[in-house]
Amino acid sequence: MIDWARVTELKSEIGETDFSEVVDMFLEEVEEVIDKLRNAPVKADLEIDLHFLKSSALNLGFADFARICGEGERAAAKGGDVALGPVIESYLASKADFAIGTAA
C-alpha cells in the first residue's frame, strides 16, 4: 500500500522537519480534493483532479492510491465513468497505513 522505500528516500532528501511539513501539506491539499470528489465532483475536472492526486501520492509513497488515481485519470481522459468510491477508500486506507507506519 505504501512505498516505504520512497518515504525513507524523501525523509533523507529533505530531513525530518521538512518531511513533516510536506506530509501536513500533502494531507491538507489531498483532503480538499477528496472532499470535492466526495461531495461535488465535476466530471469535466476529474482528469485534472485525479492527476493531481496521483502525482501527490507518488511523491509521498502512497503507491496503491496513486495506481487507483491513475486508472481513474485514464478513464476520465477517455470520457468514461470513474468510480470515485474506490479512490476515496484507497486514500483513507493508505492514510491509516501511513499513520501507523510513521508512528512506529
Cut 0.85: pTM above it: yes
Give yes or no for a contact between 91 and 30, defined as CB atoms under 8 angstroms apart. yes
pLDDT tens string 25-81: 999 999 999 999 999 999 999 999 999 999 999 999 999 999 999 999 999 999 989
Torsional class of 12: left (φ above 0), alpha (ψ -120 to 50), beta (otherwise): alpha
Number of separate domains in the chain = 1
Q: Rounded to an integer, what distance in angstroms lies between the CA atom of residue 97 and that of residue 64?
A: 11
Domain residues for the domain of 10 are 4-103
Give yes or no for a contact between 2 and 98, defined as CB atoms under 8 angstroms apart. yes
Give yes or no for a contact between 2 and 102, defined as CB atoms under 8 angstroms apart. no
Q: Is 100 exposed, middle or buried (0-12, 13-18, 19+ CB in 10 A)?
A: exposed
pLDDT tens string 5-38: 999 999 999 999 999 999 999 999 999 999 999 9
